[in-house]
């Protein structure tokens, strides 16, 4: 398990049309027995956040802020120190898959352990003889999760691990993440689907337009959401009984190339006020914070 602190993290991607402000002043803290879910629409900076933690933002640059894992700042760590001390403790499910398959030939003990571990996720031995590109998305995900168990990392970043998978496999992946947690692994579960988070994580961070607009315990975020965007996301989740009328948030996410000053949600917010044209303050909540003028 890992104690994690992210303070004031800002990341830009340089492009020919200018800098994309993918993350701005992102901030949160996790105790070592806590996992976090990161939710928000596509393009809001979720993957960039995950990649920052493993120092793998390709084409992007951390322009401000600090990331500490177990009280140790990784921001100024050299690549080699990071590789030695952190890289294998923090495991990402999306990005390192092909790399890992390349690094290990599946022979000897490793194969045996791998095989045992794969058994737990009902994969047949024969797929190990295939190449990564021949494997289906679901198989890849399950292998990677099995490897996540094997490598015994302290922190697993799962970036949309259930996207594009059928419901049964999704459920298996969720169960695997839960069993990782039971084995003492902290998880960062990145998803555009707020619905899958409630039973897995203790903390939730809601991202909008490169900012973390709300952070708190999953109980507080689900039961007493503060930010109008969080409320909108929750209203668009279907319930099993379907008694709730689903609402969708009209409009489009902001352009991160040259973001306007003020609240990024201004154009789409049903509660927008004049003062929202200025940057919203960060207001403390019971278990975290919200970036919104409504609570000032
Ligand atoms: N390599 C890149 N070069 C330029 N812009 C990028 C790059 N990767 C991501 N972005 C931009 O950064 C923003 C955040 O992207 P990303 O972190 O992938 O969001 P998410 O994972 O929430 O969909 C988006 O506006 C995206 O277009
Ligand atoms: S700051 Fe204003 S525009 Fe932004 S979410 Fe809050 S009420 Fe809406
Ligand atoms: Mg992403």
What spatial distance separates the first Cα and last Cα of the chain, rounded to whole Å?
35
228 lines ligand 2 (CB under 6 A): yes
Topology (CATH) of 4-238+247-295: Rossmann fold (3.40.50)
Provide the β-strand partners of residue 158: 189
pLDDT at 10: 97
Mean pLDDT of the chain: 81
Both tokens of 155, joined, read 């922190």
Among 229, 236, 240, residue whose Cα is nearest residue 204: 229
pTM to 2 decimal places: 0.85
Report how far Cα 47 is from the mean position of its chain's Cα atoms: 6
pLDDT score recorded for residue 176: 78
Ligand 2 atom 1 nearest Cα: 292
Q: What's the pLDDT tens digit per position in 72-113?
A: 898 888 888 887 777 767 766 653 444 444 444 333 333 444
Domains of the chain by residue range: 4-238+247-295
State if residue 50 touches ligand 1 by the CB under 6 angstroms criterion: no
* Token code pair at residue 278: 């200025």
The residue whose C-alpha atom lies closest to atom 12 belonging to ligand 1 is: 22
Tell me: the pLDDT tens digits for 202-222?
A: 999 999 999 999 999 999 999
CA torsion angle for 64, 5, 187, 75 (degrees, to 10)? 40
Cβ of 43 below 6 Å from ligand 1: yes
């Amino acid at each position: 398990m890992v104690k994690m602190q992210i303070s004031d993290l800002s990341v830009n991607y340089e492009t020919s049309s200018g800098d994309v402000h993918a993350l701005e002043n992102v901030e949160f803290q996790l105790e070592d027995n806590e996992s976090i879910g990161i939710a928000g629409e596509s393009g809001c900076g979720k993957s960039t956040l995950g990649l920052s933690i493993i120092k793998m933002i390709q084409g992007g640059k951390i322009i401000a802020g600090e990331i500490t894992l177990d009280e140790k700042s990784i921001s100024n760590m050299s690549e080699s120190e990071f590789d030695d001390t952190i890289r294998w403790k923090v495991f990402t499910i999306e990005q390192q898959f092909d790399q890992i398959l390349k690094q290990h030939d599946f022979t000897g003990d490793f194969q045996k352990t791998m095989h045992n571990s794969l058994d737990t996720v009902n994969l047949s031995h024969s797929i190990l003889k295939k190449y990564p590109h021949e494997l289906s998305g679901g198989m890849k995900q399950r292998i990677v999760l099995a490897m996540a168990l094997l490598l015994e990392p302290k922190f697993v970043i799962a970036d949309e691990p259930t996207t594009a998978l059928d419901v049964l496999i999704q459920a298996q992946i969720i169960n695997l993440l839960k069993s990782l947690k039971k084995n003492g692994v902290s998880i960062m579960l990145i998803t555009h689907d707020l619905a899958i988070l409630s039973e897995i994580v203790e903390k939730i961070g809601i991202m909008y337009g490169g900012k973390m607009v709300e952070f708190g315990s999953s109980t507080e975020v689900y039961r007493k959401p503060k930010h109008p965007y969080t409320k909108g996301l929750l209203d668009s989740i279907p319930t099993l009984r379907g008694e709730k009328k689903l609402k969708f948030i009209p409009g489009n996410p902001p352009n991160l190339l040259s973001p306007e000053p003020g609240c990024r949600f201004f154009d789409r917010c049903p509660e927008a006020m004049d003062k929202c044209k200025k940057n919203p303050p960060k207001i403390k909540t019971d278990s975290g914070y919200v970036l919104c003028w409504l609570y000032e």
